[in-house]
Amino acid sequence: MREFTPSTTIEVLGKNPGEGNPLISHKFGADGNAFVHDGRVYVYMTNDTQVYNPGPDGTSPTNTYGGINTITVISSDDLVNWTDHGEIPVAGPNGLAKYATQSWAPAVESRVVDGKEQFFLYFANNGAATGVVVGDSPLGPWRDERGSLLITSQTPGASDGRNWLFDPGVFIDDDGQGYLYFGGGGNDGSNSYENTNHPKSTRVVKLGADMISTDGAAETIDAPLMFEAGHVFKRDGKYYYSYSSNFGFGGPIDPNGPPTGAIAYLVADNPMGPWTPDKYAGVIFKNPGNYFGAGGNNHQSVFELNGEHYFTYHAQTLNRRITGGATQGFRSPHIAKLEFNADGTIKEVVGTFDGVEQIRHLDPYRVVEAETIAWQQGLATKRLNAPNDVPQLALHDVDNGDWTSLSSADFGSGTTGVSARVKPLTAGTSVQLRLDDRTGPVVATIPVDGPVGEWTEVGTELDGVAGVHDVYFTFVGPEGRDLLEVDSWQFAKPSLKVEGDADTRCAGPNVKLTVRVTNNESAPVDFVVETPYGTKSFDDVEPGKTRFHPFTTRQSAVAAGTAEVTAKAVVDGHEVSTALSVPYDARTCR
């Protein structure tokens, strides 16, 4: 019998090709908070994987959250291909905020402070307090500027002695004023109608201009059946406060309020509210158990990208697929479109495995981090650099038959090859490429023939791969061995069949530089020629034709140099561009 070796690598197929949910299937993540920056959405999450410890039967003990002191981060610019950015060491003896013991339910915002954009990551230190760390980018590096917890029982107005001080939600209004929403719980044990339906356990407080201090006392939020997960966003001048309702504190539940364990919301005209029961507007999302057969706590965020609103939530879908049914509290991030009625109320979201449509094609001609994944099976990621540096990750624990993929990569008129930065761990490894079908025909094989144990670049040629395709990478090698680690992929960009040449000659006392361009394509090409002595454009140069331009330098001597030529054309319906550096000789005229 093979000896059991503990591993957190998830070997089951946790996300089927074509599904958009859960967002990732190689690890867990809960309480997702979405933050948009420069057209990219980052999702910061409670790192449930930190306490995932499956035994020989593949089942982990129940998640009690106590051992979680890191925040896990993913991001995407298309909402289907998600990049794993690893973990932020927030709390505990190895964390940034060593005075905190846990880090749960993060929230992130940015603002310019002293002329520099800063990023603020708020976190729950279990149920007792809220802290904040500061970064130089959405991915850090992070630092502890405050040196103490931000929200405690000593914060004016924060505590009534029975409410939790966790689940931060941060919002910055158009005037630059920041607000922090926090709190939850509040069961006083009375089993009363009032305590069940109006526990008044959450708060809102103004933040100082530095975003790491508070300004004034916290004010109470009275949301019907309140429990946790307060979050605010603004739309059309209205403020929406969403939250998770409780599961019953023993008293009768008001039928005019939300159901238990659901995401409900209030609408107000001010970020401070007042948030009172008359502002209640309905339910955004019922408990995940209604859709996936696995219930549990509920947590959400709302973000806007390219003029559309989206809703994030978590559910134990991956946990359920691992075990075949039972769940142990390990949650995974999900996404849905958020739509509004004409009166501004929110249309109820239904949980699905479909997720949302990919909003843009993936560009395969840039360097694509290997930890950017649409669907996969059997893989894990590891950090290659120091814990608090801007993260650099790679795929690891790669076995024979494991695979990963990219969704809707746009190859335009066609790629000529693919390369990968890898560290071979076992000789005889290769990577098979397939298009659109994980079990379809192999279109190319990358031999992983570099030195074992050393980072190297490997690749192969490709032909006939054009247009938009899902791309599957399958790893092949000896059974029972770790095959390799993978840092990145990159496909070779197509180029136009164009030529350029240049010469220098004397025209009286001055040097004349002549640059020629030739179109060897089957379609018209636009050229732009740039030199130190001027720029010339040639539009719609016909196939087989050459155009030239003499540049007058007005100098009696010129040094050797290059003319920079850019060529653009539409080939098979796709725009292709090629850049050439055309050398010319030095010349002196007397």
Read off the CATH number of the domain in which 524 is found: 2.60.40
Which residues, at least 6 apart from 289, have a Cβ–Cβ distance to it below 8 Å?
261, 295, 296
Residue 1's pLDDT is: 35
End of a domain among 439, 473, 491? 491
For the chain, the domain total comes to 3
Whether 5 shows a pLDDT value over 60: the answer reads no
**Domain contains 354:** no
CA torsion through residues 199, 202, 204, 205, sign: positive
Residue 387's pLDDT is: 84
Residue 575's pLDDT is: 84
Same domain, 74 and 122: yes
Q: What are 454-464's pLDDT values in tens digits?
A: 999 999 999 98
Same domain, 445 and 503: no
Both tokens assigned to 355: 């997720």
196 backbone dihedrals φ, ψ, rounded to 5°: -70, -45
Q: For the residues of 370-404, what is the DSSP string, one character each? A: TTEESSEES-EEEE-S-TTSSP-EEEES--TT-EE
**Domain contains 355:** no
**Domain contains 23:** no
**Dist CA 224 CA 240 (whole Å):** 14
Residue 467's pLDDT is: 93
Distances (CA, A) of 466 to 368, 409, 441, 561: 18, 10, 16, 36
Which CATH number do you get for residue 229? 2.115.10.20
The answer to whether the CB of 49 falls within 8 A of the CB of 28 is: yes
Q: What are 49-78's pLDDT values in tens digits?
A: 999 999 988 899 999 999 999 999 999 999
Q: What are 254-282's pLDDT values in tens digits?
A: 999 999 999 999 999 999 999 999 999 99
pLDDT tier for residue 6 given thresholds of 50, 70 and 90: low
The answer to whether the CB of 348 falls within 8 A of the CB of 242 is: no
Same domain, 34 and 111: yes
Q: Peptide bond before 224: cis, by omega within 30 degrees of 0?
A: no
Same domain, 539 and 470: no
| Residue corresponding to tokens 């939250």 | 243
Same domain, 307 and 394: no
Whether 364 shows a pLDDT value over 90: the answer reads yes
Same domain, 464 and 524: no
**Domain contains 320:** yes
The share of the chain scoring above pLDDT 70, in percent, equals 99
Same domain, 524 and 420: no
Residue 389's pLDDT is: 87
**Which domain, by its residues, includes 480?**
368-491
Q: What are 164-198's pLDDT values in tens digits?
A: 999 999 999 999 999 999 999 999 999 999 999 99
Amino acid at 375: W
The answer to whether the CB of 470 falls within 8 A of the CB of 376 is: no
**Domain contains 220:** yes
What is the torsion angle, in degrees rounded to the nearest 10, for the CA atoms of residue 351, residue 352, residue 358 and residue 359? -20
Q: What is the mean pLDDT of the chain?
A: 97
Residue 573's pLDDT is: 78
E-only strand ranges, 295-453: 300-305, 308-315, 332-338, 368-369, 372-373, 376-377, 380-383, 393-396, 403-410, 415-424, 429-435, 442-448
Closest to 147 in 3D by CA, of 159, 123, 158, 131: 131
Same domain, 523 and 473: no
The set of catalytic residues is 31, 228
- What b/e sequence results for 233-248 when a residue is b if at least 16 CB atoms lie within 10 Å of its CB, and e otherwise? beeeeebbbbbbbbbb
Whether 491 shows a pLDDT value over 90: the answer reads yes
The answer to whether the CB of 325 falls within 8 A of the CB of 298 is: no
Backbone dihedral region for residue 183 (phi beyond 0: left; psi -120 to 50: alpha; all else: beta) = left
What is the pTM for the complete model shown?
0.93
Same domain, 190 and 326: yes
Q: What are 527-557's pLDDT values in tens digits?
A: 999 999 999 999 999 999 999 999 999 999 9
Same domain, 149 and 217: yes
Closest to 91 in 3D by CA, of 68, 109, 118: 68
**Domain contains 257:** yes
Whether 476 shows a pLDDT value over 70: the answer reads yes
**Dist CA 311 CA 355 (whole Å):** 10
Residue 7's pLDDT is: 78
According to DSSP, the β-strands at 116-125 and 104-113 are antiparallel
Residue 4's pLDDT is: 43
Which CATH number do you get for residue 475? 2.60.120.260
**Domain contains 147:** yes
| Residue corresponding to tokens 């729950």 | 124
Report, as an integer, the average pLDDT of 21-29.
Answer: 99
**Dist CA 537 CA 531 (whole Å):** 12
**Dist CA 294 CA 486 (whole Å):** 34
End of a domain among 491, 520, 552? 491
Both tokens assigned to 161: 């002695």
**Dist CA 67 CA 504 (whole Å):** 72
Whether 2 shows a pLDDT value over 70: the answer reads no
Report, as an integer, the average pLDDT of 78-86.
Answer: 99
Same domain, 328 and 384: no
Same domain, 303 and 319: yes
- CB count, 10 Å around CB of 589? 17
Whether 363 shows a pLDDT value over 90: the answer reads yes
- CB count, 10 Å around CB of 454? 9
End of a domain among 338, 357, 376? 338
The answer to whether the CB of 204 falls within 8 A of the CB of 222 is: no
**Domain contains 244:** yes
What is the torsion angle, in degrees rounded to the nearest 10, for the CA atoms of residue 292, residue 293, residue 294 and residue 297? 70
Q: What are 396-448's pLDDT values in tens digits?
A: 999 999 999 999 999 988 999 999 999 999 999 999 999 999 999 999 999 99
Q: What are 285-295's pLDDT values in tens digits?
A: 999 999 999 99
What is the torsion angle, in degrees rounded to the nearest 10, for the CA atoms of residue 57, residue 61, residue 62 and residue 68? -120
